[in-house]
């Protein structure tokens, strides 16, 4: 019996880390609904929760913060990133930087909590350093007195960021830290199941996240909103897009059959952090697009997903659009590494079967006897 295309609905593993309850519109981390954590727990607390299985006490959080802040510096001080073309995709720079860091830190053997922490702590440093280098600027050294989110924004500009920007980014990082058995997480677990090292698992996950069907949608949302341009143009633009079968970015999800709970939280954040004009454009687009999608495609159950208002929030804190995917990775590495650690407990090689649908019974002919195959 063959599996459905894309393994939709197929359970491939058991996990205690997170789960998407698609029919209910709920996301749970280690037993906590995402609304219990977003805007309340820091990203560092959520890292600890995903890695260790429970929220940290004050002393445990202090120890985690100290450890993560001491692990931010790149072992080659950004030398690897300086070798890359300045025009390279930031996700390629992150992938290359992580591979170099893992090699220089000699991360090998069975994945450990300490390795997960060391890699996670350095993600913002890699991304921020490349942004500076590609703009002809020197990377800014991390500060040990700033939080994970605050230090990332600081390393991009050299200025201590506004508190509302830090709060917005920190909440975004919490919301995107894990999301069930998504493509990049599954990739990380497949690699981990071969007993490869944690660095290789994370590099593979970055490759999966780079795909526009996974991590690139927020930038495409911003491009769409740019095309619409103004609140007055929402109706004609959306109507034309749907009439010509153009995809509306930021709507629909493989698992959620109602509104993504992260989108609800990000909408409120976008209302507070965006300019009134931009929020009117985004919110007006969302409302009209949903009305039309439900009217035209009532059987598809299309709702707002996390990418729609992620675009608004990341734009409000000043990130360039091609840095939305690596910022997503800065968040999701906590989930990747948690799943890698979990995979190693009672590990079994992930080796699914495939259904062969190709020809059989062909007879080999020497090269000079073969006829050209026409397409």
Known active-site residue 253: yes
Catalytic member of 148, 179, 253, 339: 253
Tell me how far apart the alpha carbons of residues 248 and 155 are, in angstroms, rounded to a whole number.
Answer: 34
Strand partners, 225: none
Tell me how far apart the alpha carbons of residues 1 and 273 are, in angstroms, rounded to a whole number.
Answer: 51
Residue 3, burial from CB neighbour count under 10 angstroms (0-12, 13-18, 19+): middle
Tell me how far apart the alpha carbons of residues 321 and 219 are, in angstroms, rounded to a whole number.
Answer: 5
Known active-site residue 54: no
Tell me how far apart the alpha carbons of residues 211 and 215 are, in angstroms, rounded to a whole number.
Answer: 6
The structure tokens listed for 141 are 């050294």
Say if strands 18-21 and 32-33 run parallel, antiparallel, or are unpaired: unpaired
Catalytic member of 45, 286, 307, 342: 307
**Contact between 257 and 298 (Cβ < 8 Å):** no
Report CA-CA distances (Å) from 48 to 16, 56, 142, 331, 333: 14, 6, 21, 13, 12
Give the closest residue to 123 by CA, choosing from 91, 98, 151.
98
Dihedral (CA of 50, 28, 343, 209) sign: negative
Active site residues: 253, 307
């Amino acid at each position: 019996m063959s599996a459905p295309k894309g393994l939709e609905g197929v359970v491939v593993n058991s996990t205690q880390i997170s789960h998407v309850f698609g029919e209910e519109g709920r996301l749970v981390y280690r037993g906590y609904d995402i609304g219990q954590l977003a805007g309340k727990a820091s990203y560092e607390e959520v890292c600890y929760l995903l890695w260790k299985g429970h929220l940290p006490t004050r002393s445990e959080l202090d120890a985690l913060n100290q450890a993560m802040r001491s692990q931010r510096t790149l072992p080659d001080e950004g030398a690897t990133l300086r070798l890359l073309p300045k025009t390279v995709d930031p996700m390629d720079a992150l992938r290359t930087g992580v591979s170099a860091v893992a090699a220089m830190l000699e991360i090998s053997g069975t994945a450990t909590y300490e390795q997960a922490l060391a890699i996670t702590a350095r993600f913002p440093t890699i991304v921020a350093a490349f942004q500076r280098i590609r703009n002809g600027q020197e990377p800014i050294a991390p500060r040990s007195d700033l939080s994970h989110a605050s230090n990332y924004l600081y390393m991009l500009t050299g200025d201590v960021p506004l508190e509302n920007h830090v709060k917005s980014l920190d909440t975004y990082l919490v919301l995107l830290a894990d999301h069930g058995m998504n493509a990049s997480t599954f990739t990380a677990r497949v690699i981990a199941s071969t007993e490869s090292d944690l660095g290789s698992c994370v590099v593979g996950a970055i490759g999966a996240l780079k795909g526009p069907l996974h991590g690139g949608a927020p930038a495409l949302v911003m491009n769409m909103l740019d095309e619409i341009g103004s609140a007055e143009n929402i109706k004609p633009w959306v109507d034309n897009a749907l009439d010509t079968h153009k995809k509306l970015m930021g709507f629909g999800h493989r698992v959620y059959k109602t509104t993504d709970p992260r989108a609800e939280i990000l909408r409120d954040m976008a209302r507070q952090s965006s300019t009134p004009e931009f929020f009117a454009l985004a919110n007006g687009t969302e409302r009209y697009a949903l009305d039309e999608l439900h009217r035209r495609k009532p059987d598809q159950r299309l709702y707002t997903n996390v990418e729609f208002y992620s675009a608004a929030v990341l734009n409000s804190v000043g990130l360039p659009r091609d840095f939305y995917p690596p910022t997503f990775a800065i968040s999701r590495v906590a989930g990747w590494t948690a799943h890698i650690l979990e995979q190693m407990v009672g590990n079994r090689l992930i080796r699914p079967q495939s259904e062969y649908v190709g020809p059989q019974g062909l007879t080999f002919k020497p090269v000079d006897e073969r006829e050209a195959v026409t397409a």
